[in-house]
Amino acid sequence: MKTSAAAPAAPAASSAPSSAASPDAAQAPAVVPEAAPVSATGGAGESFTHFDEAGRAHMVDVGAKAETHRVAVARGTIRMRPETLALVRDGTAKKGDVIAVARIAAIQGAKRTADLIPLCHPIALTRVAVDFALDEAAGAVHCTATAECEGRTGVEMEALTAVQVGLLTIYDMCKAVDRGMVIESVRLLRKRGGKSGEWVAPE
């Protein structure tokens, strides 16, 4: 006697959602968070003086400060190939005396700092001195700038700008033979005057 085979069981319905997206399904728009307001207060009671209480940029009011003798010294370096340094040393670069032009440019940069850095005060500088030192062992030129004034705000930015502009001028005058020059280590060395008194960079 023949026996009939049992009918195969129906497959169980899958509970997993279909991978095909419904054409009517609307995608939720991406939420872009609003930028948080800039805090004017930092750690340990310090604050960014160029922001007001609402976090908006402003020019610091220095009207109530006493006028004092203010000095700032900054320094920076441009590194280059030995052959490029030799051209600078011998004054035989195609554009002429590199160091002489860079010194004038640095002084001019210090005088124009308020035009370049938007929240700096225009300052009546009483002195700007710029020195260059050729370092053949390191293949570099070091620039040191000193800015001074009798005023209500410091001259750190003027000294730093002088260094940057002086080094950029060297780059401009030598780039035809060495585009790989590197400007580095631009920093404030010391400052004097004002309520905070004297500050010297750590070694």
Place of tokens 């004034």: 149
Q: Which helix (H) or strand (E) holds 85?
A: helix 82-90
Q: Is 24 a catalytic residue?
A: no
Strands lying side by side in the sheet with 125-135: 125-135, 140-151, 68-79, 182-192, 199-200
- Residue 125: how many other CB atoms lie within 10 Å: 19
Q: Please name which of 164, 188, 185 lies closest in space to residue 109, comparing C-alpha atoms.
A: 164
Is 140:71 a contact under the CB 8 Å cutoff?
A: no
Catalytic, out of 52, 135, 172, 178: 172
- Active-site residue list: 172
